[in-house]
Structure formats: structure tokens, C-alpha cells
Structure 1
Amino acid sequence: MTDDRKKTVPVLTLATADVQVSGVMTAGEMMTAERLAELRGVLAALADNPIVTLEVHPLPDKIDRGRGIPLDAASPLAQSLSQLITQSARSSLTTARATASGENLYRMVVPAKVAAQFGQGIVRSLPSKAAAGGIYGSLVNSAGRFVEPATFVPVGKAAAAGAVGGAGATAGAAAAGGAALTVAAPLVLMAVAVGVSAHADSKRQRAIERITEALEQLREKDLEDERSDLDGCRNAIDRATAILLDEGEIGASLGLDSAVHTIDTALSKADSRLRRWQRALDALPDGKPVEIGTLTESFPGVDDHGGTFRAHLELAGLAIALKRRVDVLQAVEHAQKNPDNLFENFTRALKRGQESLDGLEAGIAGVLVRLSALELARPNGLKPVFMPGEVDRLMSAAHRIHRLGDGVTVNSRTTDVAIEIARDKDGSVVVFPALPA
């Protein structure tokens, strides 16, 4: 049985509303990860409403729970997941065996067609510090492959009656024309909301680390205050997140309104800086080398590890990450107030809030790409030759500027989104940052 659990991964197919699809996924059919990915694409194309898959993996021995958002067993997400597991185990021996220990890692994959509704840039890979070229993820190694070879097995529908309605509703079976799918809009909504929120908070943490490092060298009080004001918004956002995930109401006493004002102010500053950077780049002569001195007038510190320009970049990234978390909260709140089409309300509200942020991120990415493509000129001077230190500085500056474009994605294509959920025996869960699948 231990060997089976390592190689056999049950896959549940969940819908957010009653849908009708052809029987493209047969219960009990063995398939590879590549075949499963193909079928996800087919399901997404055929269905009018979002369809996601939920894989049931053994819980890894070592897992960094600090990256995720913990929820106790009484939370709507944990309850919905427990209900789904119980119902599925009754109708599927494969699921019953896989979940017998009570400890599993569930991997929900949301198709790109649905993920596009969240916003173009909301979920991107988070580089891992532990391995060069690696990304954060519980199921994959640094090469992006499953650690254990696995065979995926679609399981039958959950034999249960239920409703699609509020965030704590039970799952139910949808009577479809071809395949019967489990209706679990609340589970999908809450998993996506928490996964996206955790992803945004991971970006916040990384931005804070880089800003702190840059400001230690700069010692500029205005930027220190801006960083402190933004990071001070986290407590209000964390409290509001905890309350909403338990289906509570966000009150003025939480301080979320003042946090949103601080974030919006920082975004306004980032937008002004972006426009200034774009104008400076437009003013440069086309196809001609640029002196470092000319470049640093508009981009101070661009040729150094720290510098005001790089601090401004990180402050913009921090404000965007915090705003994405706030947008998720507002989208969940909006969906919970309109439970008749809960998931659709969530995606519409989230997309509206993300469009301006996507534009700001794309603008900053464009500036970095343009800077990285510049050719640096030798500084003008009376001396016919330059000292070794001046040559070293020019080469070092050129290297740093050319690397500004590393890892920058402009107009990225939306991919499937994976959300991993670790469940313990007591029913509590930890939801990890959403990542491209």
C-alpha cells in the first residue's frame, strides 16, 4: 500500500456550477501527468463554467509551512475540503486508500482560461533561494519535475447532495450530460483566494528584504518612512484576511481603510516615477551609447547594487503586492454577499481590481528591458586614457545595467495555476502560494 500511495494519485474533477461535458475523463483510467494536462485543456474548452482538478498526494516529510496561510479545521475551506474527502472516499476505493492517513497534500489546478480572469500578472513563479533556477513549490524539485514518479487516476463523482451557495456550503454532484462532476464552488473560491493572497504576501516578503538591504546603504529617511508605512499595512490586511476566510464582516475598526489609503498613495508615487522614467528613456538618442552620468541623472544608483532607483523599484513592487492582497479580500467579500454565482462574482471583482496593477507592472518591466538594452559610452574627459579603476567601474556598471532585464516578463501568457493545500489529521490546512502549474 505504501508503494501504491507513492505512485497512484487520485484526481477529482470539480465544477463551480452545474455543467455538461463529454465523458473525456474516465474514472479509473490510468494516465500520465502529460495526459492529465491535455485533458484539463479539453475540459476547460468544453465547459461553460470553471472546472478544476484536485490531485491527492501523500504529504511530504519536509514541507515549509511558513510560506503558506494556516486555517483551522473550522474554517470554511477546511470544512469544504473535509466534506469532499469524506464523500469521495465513500464512492472511490482509490481515494479512500490515498486519504486513509488523514494527512495529504492536495494540488488544485485552475485552467489558464479561468486564471486569465484573475488578472494577467497576478500569479508568476517565485524564484527559490534554496536552489539556482528553482521555484517555490511543494511537489516539484529544482528541475520542475515531480519528486516521485506518479500515475494519475481520475475517480468517480462524490455521492452527495449539496448546494453551491455560501462559502461554507457542501459539495454536491452535478448531473451532467456526459460526465458527472462534483460541484464545489465554495472550495474552489476559497482555495484560489487564499492561494493568491499567499502568493502576493510572498512577493511582499521578498520586496521587504530587498528594500531593507538597499535602504541600509542609502540611509534616506523619506524612503525609510515610505517603506515603514507600507509594511505597517500588513497587520490590518492579515486581520481582514482571517475574518473574511471565516465568513465574517470587515469593520472599520480593523484599520483596512487607512491601509488602503497608504497603499494607493504609494501606487500613485510609483506611477509618477514610472512616467518620469519613460520620459527620460524617450529623451535618449536612438541607437547611440549613453554616458553613465547622463543615465544616473534620471536613474540615480542604477549602476550600483543599491541606489535610489532600485529602492523605488522595490517600493513599487511592495505596493503592488499589498494591493493585490487587498483586491483579493474585496473580491471575496463581494462574492460572499452574492452567493448565487459565487465564483463568477469573485473572478469579475478580482479582474477589475487587477487591470491597473497589471498595467503598472508591465510599464516597469518595459523600463527595465529598455535600460538593459542600452549601450554605455566612455565618459567624456580631457584625459586620453582612463585609470584601471575607471575602466572597472564602467564594466561593472554595464554588467549591472544589462542584468536589469533578467527575469523580467512583458505581456506574459497566462498559464494554468496550481494551489497546494497541506491537510493534517485534525482537519486543519495550510494553503501555499499559488504558482504557475
Structure 2
Amino acid sequence: MTDDRKTTVPVWTLATADVRVPGLTAGELMTAERLAELRGVLAVLADEPIVTLEAHPLPDKIDRGRGLPLDAASPLAQHLSQFITQSTRSSLTAARATASGECLYRMVIPAKVAAQLGQGILRPMAPKGAAGAIYGELVNASGRIASKATFVPVGGAAAVGTVGGAGATAGAAAAGGAALTVAAPLVLMAVAVGVSAHADQKRQQAIEHITELLEQLQQDKLDDERSALDGCRAAVDKATAILLDQGKLGASLGLDSAVHTIDTALSKVEIRLGRWRSALDAVPEGEAVELGTLTQSFPGIDDQGGMFRTHLELAALAIALKRRVVVLQAVEHAQSEPGNPFENFTRELKRDQQGLDALESGIAGVLVRLSALELARPNGLRPVFTTGEVDRLMSAAHRIHQLGRGVTVGGRPRDVAIEIARDKDGSVTVFPALPV
């Protein structure tokens, strides 16, 4: 996607291993629609994950606070710099697009690979306000969405190198098919940081919501639960920084105790989820339920800041923290076996994410069922109710029906985009992974 100046956007196809694919029309112009079709073809026909990487002009206004910053010495920044240097030697279009040193790189992960990373990054996240909402579509300096892009596939190999762990260089695919750049380390690190940034964004949003709710509830036990979970952040942040800089995780980081706290919180989520499901199963199908009966199993469901809603936000916080830990464990495992880092990464991530996906789906299912309930008028001897009672019932019905708004249960996997802002000094900021 280009701005009003109709900038040409180079696009590369990156493989995570040596693969053969149908010939690509390198150097020929294509539209965004044709690029999307190309991604679909590559995803279906290629044996190994193939992603596309686009180089867009860096917008003047970007909310970098929503991303994870990495300095120029980090593996991701180094891999990206190596890739750019090697690509510009054989492509004039790439050289022109990256000449300033500042670019917004957009890596698109195919849906079948994204499905292995967990459904937690496959649903759009609505940020507060519209200040930094550059994700999914690129904007120009005036803040307007840019459109009508002209894409140019960059053909040929970037350079001859080795394909290995996170420290390996980008290399060329074996001859015999269309020439692709083998850049498993670059893809691995981009996906790892993008997923981690997404999980951290969800953690921040959950903390904000919980704080607002606890100010109304003043529940000490819930406040302690929030504090224990948020206290894990320092250990997770340090472990993220060390591992993404190719360091080794040690016991001094406190990650083990943080993981124990997170797992304990997830256990409470599972217990609460089981109680919620049992309470809904007890409601006769097709019959209205009294508000008093509903609030016994879902305390405060009729209030804007009730205990039930706080439990939901605590669950979101625990899941978000666990997703970051799972990414760390997957990266560590992939780096320990440099032969096939991306395969190890996706395998480990998929295995550990399945439980979190099931937990999120279970909570989503409860919210959908609650939103579909019909509230019955209270039983009583009085034939007429006060205006206050009627208002409370109507307000409660509205809030309960709103629970299912925006909730997605299941759904078809979608391509995922990871955007990386690169500065002149080589440092990068990776924004949360989002659906295309």
C-alpha cells in the first residue's frame, strides 16, 4: 500500500527452508489483490512456510509505545540489516525503497502457519482511541489510509549463506525451483517478537481494566491476585530481552517462580470456568432466568464493575502472561537445535498454545451463552414494579447482552501481519502481530 506519492513497494518471498515453488514473475508490477493471491498459492503448494516481506515508507506518526523496541545489536535487527544489504545488491527497486535507512517492514505469515501460533493473535484487538492505529493498513503523513499500492516482487537470492539457528545468515534456496531467500532466523525472530508484543499489549489492557474494576469493588483478595500476576512482568520482560538477544536463561531471573504464579492463576481460571459452565447448564433451555438467580453464580454480572467481570479480566491477564512465557520457551527450544529452528518453534508453540486456546474458547463460549439469555421478571406478590426496579432490570439485560459483543468462537485461520519499524541506526520496533 502506498501513499499519495504512489511509492513503489518491493516485496520479497522468504522461505524457512529449501523449497521448490512455481516460478514467480520477479520485477513485474502487481496489485495488492494479486499479492494476496500469490500468498495463497505459495501457502498451498509449498512444503515449508513461506512468508512475504514488504518495505513501506516509514509513516511520520507511529505510536512506538505499542511495540517492543530492540537495539541494532539484537539478532532480529542484525538479520534484517543483513537481508537488506544483500537484497539491495541485486535489486534497484529494493535499493531505492531502503536507501533512507528508515522503513516500515511488513511480514505476512500464511494462515496455515499462523494457526500453529495460537488463536490469541488471530483476532483483532481494538486499542483505546485511534492514536497509533496504523496496523492492518498503512497511513501517510496526514493520517489517511494509503491505498492503491504498486508491488514489485524482488527475484533472485539475497546471498549464499547457511541456514541454521538464530545466529545464521540469510541464504539462497537450492536450485530447481523459483529462487527464494531462505531466512528462517529472520522469520523466527520476527514472529517471536510480534507474538510477544501482542501478548504484552493484551496484558496492559487487562491491567487497565482490572484497576478500574477493583477501584469500584475494593476486594482485597482480587487485588492480591492482580498484584501477584502483575508482579511476574519484570521476570518475563527480562527473560524476553535476554532470550531475544540470544542469551541463556538463568535461575536468577526468577522466571520459574513467575511461571508458577501464572500457572496457579490459570488453575483458578479453569475452576471458575467449570463453575460458570455448570451454572449455565442448570438453566432450562429456552426459559427465561431471574436476575437474582443469575447473580448467585455470576456475582456482579449486572454491574459495570462487578466481580464476574473482574474474574474475566484476571483470566485475560493470566492467559496473556502465559502466552509470552510459551513464546520464550519455544524460542529457547528452537535456538537449542539450530538445524530446523522454525519447525521446532512452531511445534513447541502449537503444543503449548492448545491449552490456552481451549481456555479462551471456553470463556468465549460462556459469554456467548450468557448474552443469549432472556431475563425473567422477578417473582413476587406485587403486580406492579417501581420505576427503579424496571430500570435496573433493563440495564442488567443490556449489559448481559453486551457480553457476547465482539466475541469470536473458533473461526477460520487468517494471515497474520507483523510490522517492524526500522530507524537509520539499525534499531527496530516490532508491533503486535495482528490479522491481515
TM-score (norm 2): 0.96
Task: Return the letter of the residue paired with 2:27.
Answer: G
Task: Tell me the residue number matched to 1:109.
Answer: 108
Over aligned residue pairs, what C-alpha RMSD do you find? 1.8
Kindly indicate whether residue 242 of structure 2 is the aligned counterpart of residue 243 of structure 1: yes
TM alignment of 1:54-73, pairs within 5 A? 54-73=53-72
Kindly indicate whether residue 48 of structure 2 is the aligned counterpart of residue 44 of structure 1: no
Task: Find the aligned partners of 2:369 and 2:306 in 1 and give their Cα distance.
Answer: 19
Secondary structure of the equivalent of 2:101?
A: coil
Task: Find the aligned partners of 1:59 and 1:377 in 2 and give their Cα distance.
Answer: 55
Deviation at 1:168, TM superposition (A): 2.2
Aligned CA distance change for structure 1 residues 184 and 4 (closer, same or farther; 3 Å): farther
Task: Return the letter of the residue paired with 1:150.
Answer: A
TM alignment of 1:192-231, pairs within 5 A? 192-231=191-230
Task: Tell me the residue number matched to 1:281.
Answer: 280
User: Comparing 176-185 with 270-279, which one deviates more in the overlay?
Assistant: 176-185
TM alignment of 1:35-434, pairs within 5 A? 35-131=34-130, 137=135, 139-140=137-138, 146-434=145-433
Task: Return the letter of the residue paired with 1:88.
Answer: S
Task: Find the aligned partners of 1:176 and 1:44 in 2 and give their Cα distance.
Answer: 20
Task: Return the letter of the residue paired with 1:430.
Answer: T
Task: Tell me the residue number matched to 1:436.
Answer: 435
CA deviation vs aligned residue, 1:247-274 (integer Å, no higher than 9, x gap): 1000000000000000000000000000
Task: Find the aligned partners of 2:175 and 2:137 in 1 and give their Cα distance.
Answer: 32
Secondary structure of the equivalent of 2:370?
A: helix
Secondary structure of the equivalent of 2:51?
A: strand
Task: Return the letter of the residue paired with 1:290.
Answer: V
Task: Tell me the residue number matched to 1:17.
Answer: 17
CA deviation vs aligned residue, 1:288-310 (integer Å, no higher than 9, x gap): 11110000000000011011100
Task: Find the aligned partners of 1:103 and 1:172 in 2 and give their Cα distance.
Answer: 24
Asked whether the equivalents of residues 199 and 323 of structure 2 are also in contact (C-alpha less than 8 Å), the reply is yes
Deviation at 1:6, TM superposition (A): 4.1
Task: Return the letter of the residue paired with 1:67.
Answer: R
Task: Return the letter of the residue paired with 1:21.
Answer: V
Asked whether the equivalents of residues 128 and 136 of structure 1 are also in contact (C-alpha less than 8 Å), the reply is no
Deviation at 1:107, TM superposition (A): 0.1
Deviation at 1:175, TM superposition (A): 2.3
Kindly indicate whether residue 7 of structure 2 is the aligned counterpart of residue 7 of structure 1: yes
Task: Find the aligned partners of 1:209 and 1:412 in 2 and give their Cα distance.
Answer: 28
Deviation at 1:119, TM superposition (A): 2.1
CA deviation vs aligned residue, 1:106-145 (integer Å, no higher than 9, x gap): 000000011111123343211132249x96617446xxx9
Secondary structure of the equivalent of 1:366?
A: helix
Secondary structure of the equivalent of 1:316?
A: helix
Secondary structure of the equivalent of 2:120?
A: coil
Task: Find the aligned partners of 1:431 and 1:324 in 2 and give their Cα distance.
Answer: 17
Task: Tell me the residue number matched to 1:33.
Answer: 32
Aligned CA distance change for structure 1 residues 135 and 159 (closer, same or farther; 3 Å): closer
Aligned CA distance change for structure 1 residues 3 and 197 (closer, same or farther; 3 Å): closer
User: Comparing 172-181 with 401-410, which one deviates more in the overlay?
Assistant: 172-181
Asked whether the equivalents of residues 3 and 146 of structure 2 are also in contact (C-alpha less than 8 Å), the reply is no
Task: Return the letter of the residue paired with 1:16.
Answer: T
Deviation at 1:30, TM superposition (A): 1.0
Deviation at 1:3, TM superposition (A): 8.1
Task: Return the letter of the residue paired with 1:19.
Answer: V
Secondary structure of the equivalent of 1:35?
A: helix
Secondary structure of the equivalent of 1:125?
A: coil
Asked whether the equivalents of residues 83 and 158 of structure 2 are also in contact (C-alpha less than 8 Å), the reply is no
Task: Return the letter of the residue paired with 2:186.
Answer: L
Secondary structure of the equivalent of 2:321?
A: helix
Asked whether the equivalents of residues 122 and 435 of structure 2 are also in contact (C-alpha less than 8 Å), the reply is yes
Aligned CA distance change for structure 1 residues 53 and 5 (closer, same or farther; 3 Å): farther
Task: Return the letter of the residue paired with 1:137.
Answer: Y
Secondary structure of the equivalent of 1:405?
A: coil
CA deviation vs aligned residue, 1:362-419 (integer Å, no higher than 9, x gap): 0000000000000001111221101111111111000000010000000122100100
Aligned CA distance change for structure 1 residues 197 and 64 (closer, same or farther; 3 Å): same
Deviation at 1:346, TM superposition (A): 0.3
Task: Find the aligned partners of 1:11 and 1:3 in 2 and give their Cα distance.
Answer: 16
Aligned CA distance change for structure 1 residues 146 and 87 (closer, same or farther; 3 Å): farther
Task: Find the aligned partners of 2:324 and 2:421 in 1 and give their Cα distance.
Answer: 21
Task: Find the aligned partners of 1:394 and 1:119 in 2 and give their Cα distance.
Answer: 38
TM-score (norm 1): 0.96
Asked whether the equivalents of residues 157 and 173 of structure 2 are also in contact (C-alpha less than 8 Å), the reply is no
Aligned CA distance change for structure 1 residues 139 and 409 (closer, same or farther; 3 Å): same
Asked whether the equivalents of residues 52 and 108 of structure 1 are also in contact (C-alpha less than 8 Å), the reply is yes
CA deviation vs aligned residue, 1:48-85 (integer Å, no higher than 9, x gap): 01100000000000001111111111111100000100
Asked whether the equivalents of residues 21 and 177 of structure 1 are also in contact (C-alpha less than 8 Å), the reply is no
Task: Find the aligned partners of 1:149 and 1:35 in 2 and give their Cα distance.
Answer: 12
Asked whether the equivalents of residues 121 and 433 of structure 2 are also in contact (C-alpha less than 8 Å), the reply is no
Asked whether the equivalents of residues 125 and 136 of structure 1 are also in contact (C-alpha less than 8 Å), the reply is no
